[in-house]
Chains A and B, each alone.
Chain A
Amino acid sequence: MNTDKEKRMKDLLRQALPPLEGGAEPGRDLWPAMLRRLDAEPATQQSPAWACFSEAWFDAALLAGLVALAAFFPASIPVFLFYL
C-alpha cells in the first residue's frame, strides 16, 4: 500500500470513526464501585513457599524433556532454535 492510499485510508477511517473530544469524564463517581470490587475480590494472598518449589520442579522437568527430545531426535534442534 503506497503512501497516498494509506493517507486516503486514514482519512476514511477518521471520517467513519471521528476522534473523541477531550475532557471525557465518567458519568458517576467510580470510587464506591471500586470499593465494592475490592471487597468482592480481596487482594490475592502471597504464594506459599512450596509453590516456588513446584514451579522450579516443573521448569526442570520441562528442560529435561527438551534435552531428551534433542538427544533422541537431533533433527528437531534447528526447529527449536528457529522458534526461540
Chain B
Amino acid sequence: MQNEASDVLNQFQQGSSETVEAAFETLFRLHQRAVYGWILRIVRNPAAAEDLTIESFWRIHQAHARFDPSQGFEGWARRIATHAALDWMRARRPDSELTAEVANPAETDPAVTAEIRLKTAQAFGRLPPKLRIAATLAVIEEQPQKDVAAALGISVAAVKLRVFRALRLLRKDLERQGITP
C-alpha cells in the first residue's frame, strides 16, 4: 500500500505523459475531498470551493515537475489550494463576503445580539485577505498553527502576528461602529 502510494507520487513527478495523467487522476480522486474541505473552510462558499478545487488541481498539474515526492502530496496540495483561495479572496469585493453565514442564534451567547454578530462578520470580511485567511484557519477553524503556517508558506511566528493584527483591526473596526467586544 505504502509502495503503491509512493509509486503514484513518483509517476506524477517524473513519469511519461501517460503515467503522469494516470497518477494525476489517482491523486485527484484520493485528495479532492480533503482539498475541497480545506478550501471551504477558507472561503465558506461551496460553489466557490468547488471551482477553487479545480483551479488548485490545475495548478498542481501544471507544477507536477516541481513536486517533491519525499515531502508528501497533501501538504503541497494544501499550500497550492490556500494560495488559490487567497487569490480568489483578493479578487473579490470585501463587503460581498461572509455576510450570509452569521451563526445560528441557538448556538451562541444570548448576550451577543444578531446585529453584533452580523457587524462582526462584515468587519471581518473587510480585513486584508492575508490576515483574514490566517485568522479564519487559526481562530475560527482552530487548525494547528503549524499547519496554517505550512499552508501559507510562512513561519508560526508570522501566523501569530497575522492573527494578532487581524483581531486588533477587527476590534478597531467594531469600536468605530460603537461596539465594544
Q: Which residues of A contact B (CB under 8 A)?
A: 1, 5-6, 8-20, 22-28, 30-31, 33-34, 37-38, 41, 43-44
Q: List 27 A-B contacts (CB under 8 A).
A: A6-B164, A9-B181, A10-B167, A12-B112, A12-B181, A13-B167, A14-B139, A15-B120, A16-B120, A17-B103, A18-B103, A18-B108, A19-B140, A20-B44, A22-B37, A24-B36, A24-B49, A25-B36, A26-B53, A27-B50, A30-B36, A31-B28, A31-B29, A34-B58, A38-B58, A43-B62, A44-B62
**Nearest 10 Cβ contacts at the A-B interface:** A16-B120, A16-B117, A15-B108, A16-B121, A9-B167, A24-B37, A18-B103, A12-B181, A26-B36, A24-B40
A43 to B63, CA, bound (A): 9
Nearest-neighbour CB distance to chain A for B45, whole angstroms, equals 11
Q: Are the CB atoms of A19 and B141 closer together than 8 Å? A: yes
Residues of chain A contacted by B124 (CB below 8 angstroms) = 13, 16-17
Interface contact B112-A26, CB-CB below 8 Å? no
User: Does residue B171 face the partner (Cβ distance < 8 Å to A)?
Assistant: yes
A73 to B39, CA, bound (A): 49
Q: Which residue of A lies closest to B139 (CB)?
A: A10
User: Is the beta-carbon distance between B33 and A26 smaller than 8 angstroms?
Assistant: yes
Report the separation of the CA atoms of residues A64 and B11 in the bound assembly, to the nearest whole angstrom.
Answer: 43
B24–chain A nearest beta-carbon distance, Å? 9
Are B25's CB and A31's CB within 8 A?
yes
For A44, the closest partner residue in chain B by CB is B62
Closest A residue, CB atoms, query B121: A16
B contacts, CB < 8 Å to A:
25, 28-29, 32-33, 36-37, 40-41, 44, 46, 49-50, 53-55, 57-58, 61-62, 98, 101-104, 107-109, 112, 116-118, 120-121, 124, 135-136, 139-142, 164, 167-168, 170-171, 181
| Cα-based distance from A33 to B142 in the complex (angstroms) | 31
Q: How far, in whole Å, are A31 and B170 apart by their CA atoms in the complex?
A: 39
With both chains docked as a complex, state the minimum distance between the C-beta of A44 and any C-beta of chain B, in angstroms.
6
List the A side residues contacting B53 at CB < 8 Å. Answer: 26, 30
CA distance A1 to B163 in the complex (A): 12
Whether B141 contacts A20 by the Cβ 8 Å rule is yes
A45 to B82, CA, bound (A): 25
Nearest residue (CB) in B for A31 is B28
Q: With A5-B171, A16-B102 in contact, is A38–B37 under 8 Å at CB?
A: no
